[in-house]
A and B are shown apart, each in its own frame.
Chain A
Amino acid sequence: MAPQDPPPEPSEGAPSATAEGNARRRSDRHPVNWLLVVPVVVPLLTMLFNHDGPRIAGFPAFYWMQFAFIPLGVLCTAIVYQATKRGKGGDR
């Protein structure tokens, strides 16, 4: 379930004997996937943000920092999506 594991080895399961017809092998492996680790780990490190100050617009750090992690997550997933998306039937 954890994405920090690299995408699984193609060796899983029995080697497919029936796959000749659709042998063009595609993989979800890509180095950019490692970027997904950042937004999974950072929001869980409570020591980073469990402080009252500095306040921004009245918000204690605890709150504005966690709000700031949302664009961080969006950025990381968007980069991975852009780097790994498939064109409309293009790379098949």
Chain B
Amino acid sequence: MKDHMTEFVVFAALFVLVSGMGFVAARWRRPQTMDSLDEWGLGGRSFGSWITWFLIGGDLYTAYTFVAVPALVFGAGAAGFYAVPYTIVVYPLVFLVLIRLWSVSHRHGFVTPADFVRARFGSPSLAAVIAITGIVATMPYIALQLVGIESVLKAMGINGHWPILIAFAILAAYTYQSGLRAPALIAFVKDALIYIVIIVAVLYIPSKVGGWGHIFDSAQAKFAKTPAPSDGVLLDGTNQLNYAMLALGSALALFLYPHSVTGVLASKNRNVIKRNMSALPAYSFVLGLIALLGYMAIAAGVKPLSTGGKPDTNTVVPVLFDKMFPDWFAGVAYAAIGIGALVPAAIMSIAAANLFTRNIYKEFWRKDATDKEEAVVSKLVSLIVKVGAVVCILALDPEFSIDLQLIGGVIILQTLPAVGLGLVTNWFHRGGLIAGWVAGMASGLWMLSQIPNPAKHKAHFGGSAYKLSDLGLDTKMTVYVGILALAVNLAVAVAASLVLKAAGAKDGADVTTPEDYTADEGDPKVHELELTSST
């Protein structure tokens, strides 16, 4: 700690600055009242292209990403670079679907993806299933943001848990007060810091360690010495399919996460979303450069810090910064990562709280809850969600949160038939979608439980690459579990829908119309249409 005083002072100063901004945000673009989820949870649904770009960018490219992706590249090489194709593929993939989600949500006042499912398939139970899946997948993701902050604190020689408690208490307080406006405003600072740090890092570090060619060569030399066959600066025959499927599966999953949907619904019209689909890849470029920090760490001879005897590869980037940068700039870099944790953590807790309020509390306990009551419940639940995340980190091995995050990606994909395909068609029977979800969850969790990780001495939940030979195929190739589970889910959902329809089982009514999916800013909302038709 004493050796890192300058770093800590810079880090703490920036942290205090954004905390102040978080509280002030309540007055930014001030609404008449904060007593509704439209205002507290979606920032008034009024964000233009720039704010949306910073908000969604700050939301999707999290502190954990900045720490874990280079750690993966440091440890496994090319396989960790999947984050780049993942974040290229995602935007054209969801381009046409997100504008439909925005339109139908605008028309009907939906706040969560489960709100949409309820209206589309006329099923509160299916909506609750979607909501619970979203909450369960989001919780460990919030916890991992703490891992991001912790890795930075460790590099500054701070090992206790108290700084994290303080950071999260402040975060909880301003999220409670300012809602989505807080992360939207802080995202400007976060992203500016990240861009500055990364541009400096990629210009400065390679020149100090011998150039890019040398960086890749020294990485290859390191991987050649390890016993693991599939690491290296290129993919080999066994993990190419997994690389592509992990990128595709992650891309399909990204906008099913409730916090991504929150960012999309907060924008003011369809053009904002379309424009952002071509502007957000700027972050993918930065992410690619961040991934390569893993190789720079190899070339610079960085050794990850150990806690409890186990080397923690999540510390390679902070240690690299500590080694390469002057103290004050390392402090700026640490602040970028630390603040990078706050933005997504705030949005995720808001999204999880909205799911609980809209699709569980209001649906099953208080059907006549007012807008104000919804906002009050969401604010309180956002606090509980953060306490839960802190408890996750303090009480459980962080390793366990990483497992949960891995599982989270697989289970959130199981909402694709109802949410993603639901935006395109209402063909599925509500019972078929529930059956598909059950099958997808069961098969996904079973496959994950079967994957060992010899390097970490684990027999179960050791990764997400499933060996196709375990299915009886004569090949050494592996595939991302999420994609396989989704295939099972879809097959069951289609089959069960056919059976239920043939048997004449009662289906829910779709209260949306085709016009709802192309509505834009300024078009009347459903409750306004009802008012005009009744007078």
Answer yes or no: do A and B interact. Answer: yes
A54 at the interface (CB under 8 A from B): no
Q: Please judge, given known A-B contacts A66-B84, A70-B288, whether A60 and B216 are in contact too, CB under 8 Å.
A: yes
B158 at the interface (CB under 8 A from A): no
B93 at the interface (CB under 8 A from A): yes
Please tell me if the beta carbons of A22 and B523 are within 8 angstroms of each other in the complex.
yes
A27 surroundings in chain B (CB, below 8 A)? 518
B38 at the interface (CB under 8 A from A): no
A84 surroundings in chain B (CB, below 8 A)? 274
Please tell me if the beta carbons of B288 and A67 are within 8 angstroms of each other in the complex.
yes
Please tell me if the beta carbons of A3 and B97 are within 8 angstroms of each other in the complex.
yes
B213 surroundings in chain A (CB, below 8 A)? 55, 58
B252 surroundings in chain A (CB, below 8 A)? 1
Please tell me if the beta carbons of B95 and A77 are within 8 angstroms of each other in the complex.
yes
Bound CA span A21–B504, Å: 33
B234 at the interface (CB under 8 A from A): yes
Bound CA span A10–B516, Å: 11
Among A39, A47, A50, A78, point to the contact of B89 (Cβ < 8 A): A39
- In chain A, positions 1-32 with a C-beta closer than 8 Å to chain B are 1-3, 5, 7-8, 10-14, 16, 18-19, 21-22, 25-28
- In chain A, positions 42-61 with a C-beta closer than 8 Å to chain B are 43-47, 50-52, 55, 57-60
- In chain A, positions 69-92 with a C-beta closer than 8 Å to chain B are 69-70, 72-74, 76-78, 80-81, 84-86, 89, 92
Q: Please judge, given known A-B contacts A14-B510, A60-B216, A77-B95, whether A28 and B100 are in contact too, CB under 8 Å.
A: yes
Bound CA span A55–B518, Å: 46
B31 at the interface (CB under 8 A from A): no
Q: Please judge, given known A-B contacts A26-B518, A86-B270, whether A81 and B510 are in contact too, CB under 8 Å.
A: no
Please tell me if the beta carbons of A50 and B426 are within 8 angstroms of each other in the complex.
no
Bound CA span A36–B420, Å: 17
Bound CA span A92–B529, Å: 17
Chain B interface mostly: helix
Q: Find the residue from A10, A57, A70, A78 having the highest chain B CB count within 10 A.
A: A70
Query: Which single residue of chain A is at the shortest CB-CB distance from B510?
Result: A13
- Residues of B in contact (CB 8 Å), total 65
Please tell me if the beta carbons of A58 and B216 are within 8 angstroms of each other in the complex.
yes
A67 surroundings in chain B (CB, below 8 A)? 84, 285, 288
- Residues of A in contact (CB 8 Å), total 58
Taken residue by residue from 84 to 104, chain B's Cβ proximity to chain A (1 for < 8 Å, 0 otherwise) reads as 110011011111110110000
Among A58, A73, A92, point to the contact of B215 (Cβ < 8 A): A58
Bound CA span A64–B529, Å: 53
Closest approach, in angstroms, between the C-beta of B131 and any C-beta of chain A?
19
Q: Please judge, given known A-B contacts A44-B248, A74-B281, whether A39 and B92 are in contact too, CB under 8 Å.
A: yes
Bound CA span A63–B233, Å: 9
B424 surroundings in chain A (CB, below 8 A)? 1, 5, 8, 12
Among B92, B241, B243, B244, point to the contact of A76 (Cβ < 8 A): B92
Closest approach, in angstroms, between the C-beta of A9 and any C-beta of chain B?
9
Closest approach, in angstroms, between the C-beta of A6 and any C-beta of chain B?
9
Closest approach, in angstroms, between the C-beta of A88 and any C-beta of chain B?
9
Query: Which single residue of chain B is at the shortest CB-CB distance from A6?
Result: B96
B214 at the interface (CB under 8 A from A): yes
Please tell me if the beta carbons of B513 and A73 are within 8 angstroms of each other in the complex.
no
B510 surroundings in chain A (CB, below 8 A)? 13-14
Please tell me if the beta carbons of A19 and B515 are within 8 angstroms of each other in the complex.
yes
Bound CA span A62–B274, Å: 29
Supply 12 further A-B pairs (C-beta < 8 A) apart from A3-B94, A14-B510, A46-B240: A16-B513, A36-B93, A40-B89, A44-B244, A51-B234, A63-B216, A66-B84, A66-B88, A70-B88, A73-B92, A77-B278, A86-B271
Q: Can you list the 8 inter-chain pairs with the closest CB atoms, starting with the nearest?
A: A58-B212, A58-B213, A1-B420, A77-B278, A43-B85, A16-B513, A36-B92, A44-B244
A-B contacts, 7 of them at CB < 8 A, read A21-B533, A26-B515, A33-B96, A40-B93, A62-B81, A66-B88, A67-B285
Interface residues of B (CB under 8 A from A): 78, 81, 84-85, 88-89, 91-97, 99-100, 211-216, 233-235, 240-241, 243-244, 247-248, 252, 270-271, 274-275, 277-279, 281, 284-285, 288, 292, 416, 420-421, 423-427, 510, 512-515, 517-518, 520, 522-524, 529, 532-533
